[in-house]
Structure 1
């Protein structure tokens, strides 16, 4: 009797094949897509996580730090240094809440608002570089949104 684990025949799909793993595809896609964004964001002086913060603020500034974290799905220890760098770049301001001084409110500065006019070029440039269409990206976004929801439910059930 052999103690070796049997390997699937060539006719069977190997459930442990690297190229079949969702986690692998997502990790590679993440790195590849962020590599497309990087040179587009550099002239704006933004990293991708900083860009996400700015997108949230361009959508509904002012926002609390907590609201930004929820919007872009980052925890406070990760978000705080990003906000400090954006403040140092004079793109945002940080003030204490009027009703609750424990709350920090983030708003755009004039420079941060002006940056939006340049950033509006990013989405079409990404689409062009990826060589895809808006409907294809919308379909991908919908599928990823469903995957995220399913993963969150699975994690909640374990908790």
Structure 2
């Protein structure tokens, strides 16, 4: 009988050790993408694949790269006038329409992909301390207190309806 108890105990331990392999799967599920598909290449019907830190072209002799952050597409430009933000997301996405390689021509196709795929900077991509840590029941955003239930503004959608 003691042998049977030891056998059941040992198999239970082995079962627990085998179950820990789910941790790796859980970590993989939380992985953030390094590539995102959005839009079609201008002048073709091929899907546009955006890769993190991909060189897109030059504007004014300074390179433009992609940033994939939380599965969203941003750009960074080495010619950023604020050199302290040179390695962070750049706000003016229209520079893509003026790159030396004309990858996104300044026409309907180029404007469509830039406007529908590239995000302007937001608190998640701005410099440190733009969106501060919680202090009591508020979070400072650009040194302005944001509290729960605070009316930030009215959103007007593409259909003209205010929400």
Question: Which protein, 1 or 2, shows the higher relative CO under an 8 Å CA cutoff with sep ≥ 6?
Answer: 1
Larger radius of gyration: 2
TM-score category (smaller protein):
under 0.3
What is the TM-score of this pair, normalised by structure 1?
0.28
Higher helix share goes to which structure?
Answer: 1
What is the TM-score of this pair, normalised by structure 2?
0.28
